[in-house]
């Protein structure tokens, strides 16, 4: 199979926050990989912008180190690094000040796509948008990319949308959620809407329930003060888990285009039944030999913020009436694993009897660490001894199906940045989606705050608090193992 790399049009990409953690770990290494893949045209340029006093050479040295550290050795081409670095420039700029803006304006070229990645704190988005406009740096075809968190509740998200809308149309704003850039997430849409096999079964008649798990082994690390003001609901559920839920639950869009897809996702969020705050399991990790407790990590001995969450949701429409969606996410859990499991119902009648054993079909969409999809199907255990049934996974893992080419699959950030240059917003969140998601989460968070509920403690290295297991057990179901 020969992969088709289609170069994008010439561009100037300005990375505000070009010296920050995200730029160093994800954005710049990702751009280097797209360069190696041949997707960057000859005259594409990348301009780092931040307050640090650097010149082009010093910035190139910074990016060389970033590539060294964050691109796997087998994915590097040492001979190409200088060619990549020659595309890079740097401007010292203050988002809130006046210095650097004229220089940036002078650097921008006509006739190429101008994109601006806001990889800075959200408090600076408005300043950047305003100055780009005032200095005539952004034109009607320019794009801006904004990072999460997109607000911390409905009113702040609305304010942020309004600020950006003063200078940019919705079609120019790319709200990034890197979960949507994952190969498997897009493959989920291909599997659902490119085959006749799944869609007829994709409803409450055949699906018993759906589980979405995003488990991390790490604690809050150096992000303690930010995280303690957010918690798992704001940091993970309102954006990443909600987006995954939308892709699983949405109706088939009429076309695979940005507004058709996002209209359908929005309908899912709007169809979510409200959940009472007390119905949600919240947890906080304790200390163990490997690390401090959540409260120690965030240096707040009385913190009531959750580092774990588990909940049951209902999508109130014809397709999903009666099928629960279970979502959970947490830090310092047993393994780093993100997956969606679509658990189908039992066959209506077992002709083989109980002794043959019984298995359910489960479609598993794994986002990390190894992206891939498997469908568990029941077959006869080979050999003599009568009819005994076993469950075998039909593997749709990319490494298997695509062989060495799967090495070339771009990671989420790479793909999404190229989508920005192409002007394709399908995998980015629209302003109304973000607001609808906050509308659903706000009353829950307000309820917790009003009640002063303390999250349940849980042992690190486990699957979270016992109450999370109970959420499933009392309905005769169980979570899939985190491994």
Q: Kindly state whether residue 329 participates in binding ligand NAP, applying the rule CB under 6 A.
A: no
Q: Kindly state whether residue 298 participates in binding ligand NAP, applying the rule CB under 6 A.
A: no
Contacts of 317 (CB under 8 A, 6+ apart): 267, 271
Residue 58 CB, shortest distance to ligand NAP, in Å, is 12
Q: Which residues pair with 314 in a beta bridge?
A: 324
Q: Which of 392, 412, 389 is nearest to 338 (CA)?
A: 412
Residues 145-204 that bind ligand NAP (CB under 6 A): 147-149
Contacts of 147 (CB under 8 A, 6+ apart): 22, 118, 119, 122, 176
Q: Kindly state whether residue 412 participates in binding ligand NAP, applying the rule CB under 6 A.
A: no
**Of 94 and 411, CB closest to ligand NAP:** 94
Residues 9-28 that bind ligand NAP (CB under 6 A): 16-23
Residue 223 CB, shortest distance to ligand NAP, in Å, is 8
Catalytic residue among 135, 240, 314, 473, which?
A: 240
Q: Which two tokens stand for residue 201?
A: 């079964």
Q: Kindly state whether residue 219 participates in binding ligand NAP, applying the rule CB under 6 A.
A: no
Q: 3-class SS at 146?
A: strand
**Of 70 and 198, CB closest to ligand NAP:** 70
Cα separation, 272 vs 282, in Å, equals 20
- Annotated binding-site residue? 95: no
**Of 54 and 341, CB closest to ligand NAP:** 54
**Of 125 and 440, CB closest to ligand NAP:** 125
Residue 185 CB, shortest distance to ligand NAP, in Å, is 17
In this structure, what is the dihedral angle of CA atoms 240, 214, 222, 443, given to the nearest 10 degrees? 50
Cα separation, 161 vs 164, in Å, equals 5
Cα separation, 55 vs 399, in Å, equals 41
Q: Kindly state whether residue 63 participates in binding ligand NAP, applying the rule CB under 6 A.
A: no
Q: DSSP letters along 428-480, please?
A: SB-HHHHHHHHHHHHHHHHHHHHHTPPPEEE-TTBSS-HHHHHHHHTTT--PP
Beta-strand relationship, 173-175 and 143-146:
parallel
Residue 198 CB, shortest distance to ligand NAP, in Å, is 32
Q: Kindly state whether residue 218 participates in binding ligand NAP, applying the rule CB under 6 A.
A: no
Q: Kindly state whether residue 138 participates in binding ligand NAP, applying the rule CB under 6 A.
A: no
Residues 116-135 that bind ligand NAP (CB under 6 A): 119-122, 124
- Closest residue to ligand NAP, judged by C-beta, is 20
Residue 314 annotated as catalytic? no
Contacts of 156 (CB under 8 A, 6+ apart): none
Q: Which of 317, 191, 197, 194 is nearest to 250 (CA)?
A: 317
Beta-strand relationship, 324-330 and 207-215:
parallel
Q: Are 153 and 442 in contact (CB under 8 A)?
A: yes
Residue 236 CB, shortest distance to ligand NAP, in Å, is 11
Contacts of 169 (CB under 8 A, 6+ apart): none
- Annotated binding-site residue? 20: yes
Q: Kindly state whether residue 336 participates in binding ligand NAP, applying the rule CB under 6 A.
A: no
Q: Which window, 73-81, 91-99, 309-317, 454-462, contacts ligand NAP (CB under 6 A)? A: 91-99
* Choice from 38, 96, 102, 255 touching ligand NAP (CB under 6 A): 96
Q: Kindly state whether residue 236 participates in binding ligand NAP, applying the rule CB under 6 A.
A: no
**Of 10 and 122, CB closest to ligand NAP:** 122
**Of 54 and 337, CB closest to ligand NAP:** 54
- Annotated binding-site residue? 221: no
Footprint of ligand NAP on this chain (CB under 6 A)?
16-23, 50-52, 93-96, 119-122, 124, 147-149
Q: Mind telling me the catalytic residues?
A: 240
């Amino acid at each position: 199979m020969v992969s088709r790399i289609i170069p994008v049009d010439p561009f100037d990409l300005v990375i505000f926050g070009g010296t920050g953690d995200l730029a160093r770990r994800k954005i710049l290494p990702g751009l280097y990989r797209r360069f190696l893949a041949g997707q960057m045209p000859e005259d594409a340029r990348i301009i780092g912008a931040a307050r640090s006093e650097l010149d082009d050479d010093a910035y190139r040295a910074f990016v060389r180190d970033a590539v060294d550290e964050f691109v796997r050795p087998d994915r590097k081409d040492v001979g190409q690094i200088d060619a990549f670095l020659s595309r890079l420039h740097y401007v010292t700029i203050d988002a809130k000040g006046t210095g650097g803006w004229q220089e940036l304006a002078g650097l921008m070229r006509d006739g190429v796509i101008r994109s601006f990645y806001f990889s800075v704190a959200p408090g600076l988005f408005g300043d950047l948008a305003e100055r780009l406009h005032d200095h005539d740096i952004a034109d009607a075809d320019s794009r801006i990319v904004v990072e999460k968190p997109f607000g911390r509740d409905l009113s702040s998200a609305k304010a942020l949308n309004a600020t950006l809308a003063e200078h940019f149309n919705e079609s120019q704003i790319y709200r990034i959620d890197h979960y949507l850039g994952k190969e498997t997430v897009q493959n989920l849409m291909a599997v659902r809407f490119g085959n006749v096999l799944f869609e007829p079964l994709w409803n409450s008649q055949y699906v018993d329930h759906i589980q979405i798990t995003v488990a991390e082994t790490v604690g809050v690390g150096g992000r303690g003060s930010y995280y303690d003001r957010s918690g798992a609901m704001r940091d993970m559920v309102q954006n990443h888990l909600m987006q995954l839920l939308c892709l699983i639950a949405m109706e088939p869009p009429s076309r695979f285009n940005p507004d058709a897809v996002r209209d359908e996702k929005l309908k899912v969020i709007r169809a979510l039944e409200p959940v009472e705050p007390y119905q949600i399991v919240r947890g906080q990790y304790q200390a163990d030999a490997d690390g401090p407790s959540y409260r120690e990590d965030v240096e707040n001995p009385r913190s009531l913020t959750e580092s774990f969450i588990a909940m049951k949701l209902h999508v109130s429409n014809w397709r999903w009436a009666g099928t629960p969606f279970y979502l959970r996410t947490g830090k310092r859990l047993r393994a780093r694993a993100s997956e969606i499991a679509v658990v189908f119902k039992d066959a209506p009648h077992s002709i083989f009897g109980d002794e043959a054993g019984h298995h359910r079909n489960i479609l598993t969409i794994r986002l990390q660490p190894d992206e891939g999809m498997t469908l568990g199907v029941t077959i006869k255990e080979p050999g003599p001894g009568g009819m005994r049934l076993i469950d075998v996974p039909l593997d749709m893992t990319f490494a298997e199906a695509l062989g060495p080419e799967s090495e070339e699959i771009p990671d989420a950030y790479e793909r999404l940045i190229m989508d920005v240059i192409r002007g394709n917003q399908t995998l980015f969140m629209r302003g109304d989606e973000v607001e609808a998601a906050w509308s659903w989460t706000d009353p829950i968070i307000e309820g917790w705050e009003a009640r002063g509920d303390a999250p349940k403690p849980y042992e690190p290295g486990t699957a979270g608090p016992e109450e999370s297991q109970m959420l499933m057990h009392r309905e005769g179901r169980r979570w899939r193992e985190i491994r």
